[in-house]
Amino acid sequence: MNLDTVRQWLDESDRVLIGAGAGLSVAAGYDYGDPVRFAELFPALHRLGLRARYQLIGARLPPDLLWGYWAAHVTDIRFGPGPHPVYERLRALIGERDHFVMTSNVDGLFARGGFDPGRVFTVQGDYGRYQCETPCTRQTWQSRPIIDAALAAYDPSTGRVTDPAAIPSCPNCGGEVFLNVHKGPEYIVDPYLPAGRRLQSWLAAAPADERLLVLDLGSGYNTPGVIRWPMERVARERPRGRLIRVNTQHPEVPAELGGRAFGTSVDAGVLLAELTAPRLP
């Protein structure tokens, strides 16, 4: 890990595009594969043989068990108190540099970490909103009220929401609802399109020879077309564009970028702590 090169490339950049995948939130402690944290939060599901949050993605469960899980999960990862140090350090590292964020993470940690929400394109949605499963309307709603209501009726010993009235339904048609995240063709992307258009305008606003630094944090191969490959494409399209990839498992960078790219397998949290630590004289 060459901290001096990272600092130099940041200092030489005209602007910074941050691409963030699940690995960045893993570095912040939100690991969907962590069996220890899963057992702590979801003892009833653990007794049923489940061991990690990723096993619940797309799972078909009875509504009371389903919303028991999602109420506890979303409260933990989306509505936790205050910012997280990993994201605060990233914000401090960027400082006053002109920047934009594109992330597949749906946990709202960029905004909580001090980033301008108007400069964060959450392409896969946000746990902070919910929608009709049909969907009967293009409208989406703030999820905090339904999550709080389900959590208030949640019994950790059974994993279930004990009050049927606390199981959410569509305010428009009364049908099933889910969080406004990309899990299938029913996904309503509308709330996030304005930020996507702002990102497109931001990228198009500068000359082709600008020194754009693409900082790719934690994007792997589960859904490479969402963050990983677009970040490579942006760097490739600019003759003076550079790419730094931080990924514990897949730090590889395209060979055709040559000396304009490098990758490191250092944990993003460790890297950001080193970069923002006071420098000795």
Domain definitions of the chain by residue range: 1-28+84-123+189-281, 33-82+125-181
Residues listed for the chain: 281
Q: How many beta carbons lie within 10 A of that of residue 48, not counting itself?
A: 11
Return d(Cα 187, Cα 131) in angstroms, integer: 8
- What's residue 60's pLDDT? 86
Average pLDDT over residues 222-227: 95
Per-position b or e across 245-261, b if 16+ CB within 10 A of its CB: bbbbebbebbeebeebb
- What's residue 41's pLDDT? 93
Average pLDDT over residues 33-50: 94
Average pLDDT over residues 204-225: 94
Q: Is 266 helix (H, G, I), strand (E, B) or coil?
A: coil
Confirm whether pTM is higher than 0.85.
Answer: yes
Q: Which residue has the tokens 């509504």?
A: 63
Smallest Cα–Cα separation from 257: which of 273, 270, 243? 243
- What's residue 280's pLDDT? 60
- What's residue 57's pLDDT? 85
At the topology level of CATH, where does 1-28+84-123+189-281 sit? Answer: Rossmann fold (3.40.50)
- At 227-259, the pLDDT tens digits run 999 999 999 999 999 999 999 999 999 999 999
- At 116-169, the pLDDT tens digits run 999 999 999 999 999 999 999 999 999 999 999 999 999 999 999 999 999 999
The CATH number assigned to the domain with range 33-82+125-181 reads 3.30.1600
- What's residue 200's pLDDT? 97
Query: Does position 53 have pLDDT exceeding 80, yes or no?
Result: yes
Alpha helices in the chain, H assignment, sequence order: 3-12, 22-27, 35-41, 43-47, 63-77, 85-94, 109-112, 144-152, 193-204, 228-237, 268-276
- Residue 207's pLDDT band (cuts 50, 70, 90): confident
Return d(Cα 270, Cα 89) in angstroms, integer: 10
- What's residue 1's pLDDT? 55
